[in-house]
Chain A
Amino acid sequence: MSSEEETQQSLSYKVHKSTLKWAPVFNMTILLSIAIISCLIRVFSVIRYESIIHEFDPWFNYRTTQYLVKEGPYALWNWYDSESWYPLGRSVGGTVYPGLMMTSGMIYWVLHKLSIPIDIRNVCVFLAPIFSAFTSLAAYGMTKEITKRSEAGLLSALFVAIVPSYMSRSVAGSYDNEGVSIFALVFTFYTFLKTVNTGSILWGVYTALAFFYMVASWGGYAFIINIIPIFVLFLLITGRSNQRIQVAYNVFYILGTLLAMQIPFVGFQALHSSEHMASHAVFLLINFLNFFSWIRNFVSKKAIITLTKFLVVFLVFSILVGVVILTLAGKTQWSGRSLTLLDPTYAKKYIPIIASVSEHQATTWSSFFFDLHYLILFSPVGLYYCYYKPTETKIFGALYTVLGVYFASVMVRLLLVLAPAVSIMAGIGISWAFRKFAKSVRSFILPKIEKPKKYRIPPEISIIGLVLLGYYCSIYVLHANFAGSEAYASPSIILSSRDRQGNRNIIDDYREAYYWLRMNTRADDKIMSWWDYGYQITGMSNRTVLVDNNTWNNTHIATVGMAMASSEEDAFEICEKLDVDYVLVIFGGILNYSGDDINKFLWMVRIGGGVYPHIKEEDYYGKGTYRVDQYATETMTNSLMYRLSYYRFDEVQTAYGQPKGYDTVRQAVIGVKGYKLRHFEEAFTSENWIVRIFKRKQRENRDGVAFTSKQTSQFTIPKESSPVTKFSKKANIKQRFTLNFNE
């Protein structure tokens, strides 16, 4: 060895040595940068648009948070919201997962105590990005618990931080439960794995607390309360159970269930709902088995085998029978959404309201790829690694991934639950591959430290592998960047378009109309719209709505669906009974905005028809398909939705070279032209027609009463009309007059 080579060698050894020395610092710095990146990549929406609450559900959360910081937490528990579900109202305190609101309320109060008078809207807008940073830290911790390796943790943290699926629910402004609960989910798993690894009761308590936060934040906590028992059961069956598992599970189960019951929306469901049954069963099982193994010390070996066989069969059988009996007796119930998870066709058959939501649809392969991208390819490597040399925590990771894949395939929305699992698995897999490649490279450069082994990958291939992996990872990062800055940055209440010069135009029709409602209708006016817009109307217009995105009362939604699907006369009767002052419809025929009410109309028909059988879906199909043109059926063209959406539409030219009244979404000229509305009048239409608001006219004088002498003498003014005191004098005179006239 020449001296030159020696110095080179010693240099690389020096580098190696100092790198090792500084590794923890690198580790922390990288982790911190990942946290910062995860925040920053989610702020594109604020940069491109503005600091505003997105979509639909976040508007309710935002409104509740506003109420919370204004009135305090106790007032929130007792809040009976009269602005929604008119005339029923909604008890918000008992039907809400308050974790999200409490979190932002807490941040708000603390900051105000520190004399940082930040606006609550900004707390809400930036909450999800901040929590995504926490999520990436939790994912680091969880991966480290699974593999005991920092580099896998770092990769996982990076993957979680920018995974598009999670990003779609946590961009700035997307103020939804998922924003905080994905953190809660990963953190619960992290603490649970820590407990599994250490057997520490303290960490078990932390797990229960993290679980409590999860329960407070999202209905998706059912995933945790099922996956942990399944994991424990798996260990029991494979004979890997031990004292640590028992400590971890018992502490988690007892404290977690007790804490879950503290949330009013969950309450005793934590005991008797079907989602929790598995946890009860496993609790009984693990303790019974433990008790049994303790007994084993005192009984002979032969007896033990028979006893085991008998008891296991007995236990499993009795639990099964118990569950079946409870289910049949109606003591325990599966919620519609959970049933949909077990039987993906369930909702389609029985509950159209669940099926109508696009995020409850089965996941398509394209959305798998768009939301997870290369992680799908990497994660099987991690999965393989987990099964290759299994430990308890690795089994947990693998189980979580497998179950996540199943749930994600059933519902698009649950891709969100899968995203951390896949990211962690991909992180594990890639770091494993990296490690293998790096070892071979190192054995080439630093033969003294890394002893060359016989079957090691040749360094040339390793370098190619490293480059390839790096390339794929960077493609993933680019894709995530695209998703964060373009695909998921839109707040959906603000649309934007580009004109021929490339200028960006903001289409702000929603807010235009909602603000019109807020400023120019009476404070107690009731707005009827399809339930999608309920939260936005109460949030932005501060007006009472009939139905909203909470969808707790199917009948009420069906009534609104029926009103929309009925003829104008019938709809007027329904609206009058429901005290509706304004009807709001979304119409995209001018701007080619496809998410409008005519396209959602079939769901209104289906949901309405589910409760009111005289509404039949076939009646709305012209020539076998759903259409709005001249072949549309009479039921369709007479329906309120059709009438309101296309009111005076035939007077405008929408597309070049097409006749007037050409619907750009349906690509057809509307079938009925030149009609007048009798009971409704156009109160407001936004600039691009996206939102149309119609006012219900008052009943005309003597409306609906045929003026024949016979009928008049029999006609008595019904009691319902008596509240109209303003005109009662006139009415009396008229009444008297008609009576005299008849005599």
Chain B
Amino acid sequence: MLLLIFLALVSSLRIPKNFVISNIERTVSLTDRYINIQSKITFQNDGVIPIEKIYYTIHNALSDRLYHVNVEESNAKKLIEDVDVKYKQNATVYEFTLIRPIEPSSKLEVELSEHFYKRFKPLPKEIGLEDEQLVQFMDSVYFFTPYLVKNQITYYETPKIISYSLKSATQRNQLLEFGPFQDIKPFSTQIHTIHLENNTPMTIFTKASKIIEVSHWGNILIEENYSIENQGAKLKGEFGRVNFNKYNPNVGKHSLKQLSASLPYDSWGVYYRDEIGNISTSNAAKGKLNGETQALVQLRPRFAIFGGWNSNFTLGYNLPTKKYLEQDGNNFRLTLNFSFSVKEMVSDKYNFQISLPEGAYDIQVDLPLYVERNDTLLFSYFDTVGRPTIILDKATTSQFDNKQIIITYKFSGVSILREPLMIFGTFLFAFLSIIYLRRLDLQTLKLKE
């Protein structure tokens, strides 16, 4: 019986024999600090049953560097366990449910996008201030998939190619073309490397967190903390301020000089600081970007972050509750973005913490992401029983995880007055006792004048 259940659980990856990838065209973009792979996949169903679930496999050597994967034509993504793939192929499986199943003897072209980080290996490991940053990219020649691939062609877009290991590849300017390859068996891999020039700073957040405090007096306080690291080629030799300055933009191209963050349009009181105070190099403007109104903040770190260097900073802002908190009697519904607001960055670890007002109960969190949840209490200004706090932890996090998190809870209207009344009472008591004590005659011995 137990075995049956076990089997039922694990053998979810069922691939019909006559279901193949008839054509795949992969475009690997190596121009940025993160790697973006867009694949056009044509599935061919020669079987008799319609297929509505397709599987994406990723080798475990890369699975923790994959920060986002999506199939355009799907409406559900699920991480599934498959013993076979897990142990034989050492891979992880994602299951995508297609919006429109692939009917027998028909084709469907889907678009798969994969986003990786930390896949560039700086080579040489150390470079000088004025040198170009060269990195090595390692990939499989064949698309790693449980399906049979009839035809594959891969393009690598690079800023500048130094060398590549696959001799059969053709180079056109800064574009490498691999293939076409025919009839590739499932899970075929063949490692190849490309050595290229990529001067974008290889920065990641080693840690990021977002701390939110909701007040029913009208304010939502949001503070985001970041630890940033440049994992690119380390700086060799002297720093050289003579060369590296604002008049020489081509020196030290591989250092991170600026980040940008987009905040909600109605955010106010933005601050940007670190452990020793304000970082005075930032700008903020409200405007329209990609059709969305938002506040754009440009953040310059205290110092340009070269390879091997670290830094950290805090970005904080306030939001009015009226737009994000809906009320229905005693029921409240809070809608906020889950991810951090610095753009085009990926964080290794992410911690999301939200404190609801003291006295909130019946809290429900609705989040379309896989996260670890812990609840605790936060003691802030004038708290007696503590604010209910939800802590969500997620590994690799990026802008793609910026889903809306919806928190519903109950909160009675009287609770809002508790703290003001407490302060009022304290002062009243203090004044009354002073009045009383002033009138108290504590003299034991009456001295004659």
Are A and B subunits of one complex? yes
Is A72 an interface position by the 8 A CB rule?
no
CB-contact partner of A682 in B241, B303, B310, B312, under 8 A? B241
CB-contact partner of A52 in B277, B309, B310, B380, under 8 A? B277
Residues on the A chain within 8 Å of B245, using CB: 687
CB-based nearest B residue for A52 = B277
Is B278 an interface position by the 8 A CB rule?
yes
Bound CA–CA A46/B361 (angstroms): 39
Q: Which of A681, A687, A689 has the most CB of B within 10 A?
A: A687
Is A579 an interface position by the 8 A CB rule?
no
Among B266-299, those with CB < 8 Å from A are: 274-281
CB-contact partner of B239 in A116, A519, A682, under 8 A? A682
Is A503 an interface position by the 8 A CB rule?
no
CB-contact partner of B240 in A116, A520, A682, under 8 A? A682
Is B383 an interface position by the 8 A CB rule?
yes
A508, B276: Cβ atoms under 8 Å? no
Residues on the B chain within 8 Å of A619, using CB: none
Given known pairs A115-B384, A116-B382, the reply for A520 and B276 (CB within 8 Å) is no
Shortest beta-carbon distance, A67 to chain B, in Å?
15
Given known pairs A115-B384, A515-B274, the reply for A648 and B242 (CB within 8 Å) is yes
A514, B276: Cβ atoms under 8 Å? yes
Q: How large is the interface on B (under 10, 10 to 19, 20 to 34, 35 or more residues)?
A: 20 to 34
Residues on the B chain within 8 Å of A511, using CB: 276-277, 302
Q: Which of B275, B308, B384 has the most CB of A within 10 A?
A: B275
B380, A520: Cβ atoms under 8 Å? no
**Is the contact region of chain B dominated by helix, strand, or loop, or is it mixed?**
loop
Bound CA–CA A518/B310 (angstroms): 9
Is B311 an interface position by the 8 A CB rule?
yes
Bound CA–CA A540/B275 (angstroms): 8
Shortest beta-carbon distance, A59 to chain B, in Å?
10
B276, A519: Cβ atoms under 8 Å? no
Is B237 an interface position by the 8 A CB rule?
yes
Is A652 an interface position by the 8 A CB rule?
yes
Is A683 an interface position by the 8 A CB rule?
yes
Is A117 an interface position by the 8 A CB rule?
yes
Given known pairs A651-B242, A681-B237, the reply for A519 and B309 (CB within 8 Å) is yes
Residues on the B chain within 8 Å of A687, using CB: 241, 245
Is B381 an interface position by the 8 A CB rule?
yes
Shortest beta-carbon distance, A191 to chain B, in Å?
20
Bound CA–CA A369/B348 (angstroms): 59
B309, A520: Cβ atoms under 8 Å? yes
A115, B277: Cβ atoms under 8 Å? no
CB-based nearest B residue for A111 = B381
Is A685 an interface position by the 8 A CB rule?
yes
Residues on the A chain within 8 Å of B424, using CB: none
Residues on the A chain within 8 Å of B275, using CB: 515, 518
Given known pairs A116-B381, A519-B311, the reply for A50 and B302 (CB within 8 Å) is no
A520, B310: Cβ atoms under 8 Å? yes
CB-based nearest A residue for B245 = A687
Residues on the B chain within 8 Å of A514, using CB: 276
A515, B241: Cβ atoms under 8 Å? no
Residues on the A chain within 8 Å of B240, using CB: 648, 682, 685
Bound CA–CA A682/B241 (angstroms): 9
Bound CA–CA A313/B72 (angstroms): 107
Is A374 an interface position by the 8 A CB rule?
no
Is A506 an interface position by the 8 A CB rule?
yes
Is A569 an interface position by the 8 A CB rule?
no
Residues on the B chain within 8 Å of A506, using CB: 280
B302, A516: Cβ atoms under 8 Å? yes
CB-contact partner of B280 in A508, A683, A684, under 8 A? A508
Bound CA–CA A508/B310 (angstroms): 19
Among B336-385, those with CB < 8 Å from A are: 379-384
Given known pairs A50-B278, A508-B281, A685-B239, the reply for A117 and B381 (CB within 8 Å) is yes
Residues on the A chain within 8 Å of B303, using CB: 512-513, 515-516, 684, 686
Bound CA–CA A568/B155 (angstroms): 55
Given known pairs A115-B381, A515-B302, A516-B303, the reply for A540 and B276 (CB within 8 Å) is yes
A685, B278: Cβ atoms under 8 Å? no
Q: Which of B241, B276, B380, B384 has the most CB of A within 10 A?
A: B276
CB-based nearest B residue for A685 = B241
Residues on the B chain within 8 Å of A50, using CB: 277-278
Residues on the A chain within 8 Å of B382, using CB: 115-116
Given known pairs A117-B380, A117-B381, A515-B274, the reply for A683 and B239 (CB within 8 Å) is yes
CB-based nearest A residue for B279 = A508
Residues on the A chain within 8 Å of B280, using CB: 494, 506, 508
Q: Quick one: CB contact mask for B209-241 with A, threshold 8 Å, 1 for yes?
A: 000000000000000000000000000011111
CB-based nearest A residue for B227 = A519
CB-based nearest A residue for B312 = A519
Residues on the A chain within 8 Å of B308, using CB: 520
Shortest beta-carbon distance, A465 to chain B, in Å?
40
Bound CA–CA A237/B279 (angstroms): 62
A689, B309: Cβ atoms under 8 Å? no
B239, A512: Cβ atoms under 8 Å? no
Shortest beta-carbon distance, B276 to chain A, in Å?
5
Residues on the A chain within 8 Å of B380, using CB: 115, 117
Bound CA–CA A648/B380 (angstroms): 52
A515, B242: Cβ atoms under 8 Å? no
CB-based nearest A residue for B237 = A681
Bound CA–CA A512/B238 (angstroms): 18
Bound CA–CA A593/B241 (angstroms): 18
B302, A508: Cβ atoms under 8 Å? yes
Shortest beta-carbon distance, B340 to chain A, in Å?
20
Residues on the A chain within 8 Å of B241, using CB: 648, 682, 685-687, 689, 692
Shortest beta-carbon distance, B273 to chain A, in Å?
8
B310, A519: Cβ atoms under 8 Å? yes
Residues on the B chain within 8 Å of A513, using CB: 303
Bound CA–CA A682/B303 (angstroms): 15
Among B177-226, those with CB < 8 Å from A are: none
CB-based nearest A residue for B273 = A50
Shortest beta-carbon distance, A244 to chain B, in Å?
15
Shortest beta-carbon distance, A153 to chain B, in Å?
21
Among A38-72, those with CB < 8 Å from B are: 50-52
Residues on the A chain within 8 Å of B276, using CB: 52, 511, 514-515, 518, 540
Bound CA–CA A52/B280 (angstroms): 13
Shortest beta-carbon distance, A694 to chain B, in Å?
9
CB-contact partner of B379 in A117, A508, A516, A689, under 8 A? A117
Shortest beta-carbon distance, A32 to chain B, in Å?
15
Bound CA–CA A648/B382 (angstroms): 57
Q: Quick one: CB contact mask for B147-173 with A, threshold 8 Å, 1 for yes?
A: 000000000000000000000000000
Shortest beta-carbon distance, A126 to chain B, in Å?
15
Bound CA–CA A295/B382 (angstroms): 65
Bound CA–CA A689/B309 (angstroms): 20
Residues on the B chain within 8 Å of A689, using CB: 241
A684, B302: Cβ atoms under 8 Å? no
CB-based nearest A residue for B426 = A114
Bound CA–CA A298/B279 (angstroms): 80
CB-contact partner of B242 in A116, A540, A652, A686, under 8 A? A652
Among B293-330, those with CB < 8 Å from A are: 302-303, 308-312
Among A64-120, those with CB < 8 Å from B are: 115-117
Bound CA–CA A681/B239 (angstroms): 8
Bound CA–CA A279/B316 (angstroms): 56
Q: Give A contacts to B, CB under 8 Å.
A: 50-52, 115-117, 494, 506, 508, 511-516, 518-520, 540, 648, 651-652, 681-687, 689, 692
12 pairs, CB–CB < 8 Å, chain A vs chain B: A52-B278, A115-B380, A115-B382, A513-B303, A515-B302, A519-B311, A519-B312, A648-B242, A682-B239, A683-B239, A684-B303, A685-B240
Known: A115-B382, A518-B275, A652-B242. 16 other contacts (CB 8 A): A50-B277, A52-B276, A52-B277, A115-B381, A115-B383, A116-B381, A117-B380, A117-B381, A515-B303, A516-B309, A519-B312, A651-B242, A681-B237, A684-B303, A685-B239, A692-B241
Q: Which 7 A-B pairs have the closest CB atoms?
A: A685-B241, A506-B280, A682-B238, A52-B277, A519-B310, A648-B242, A50-B278
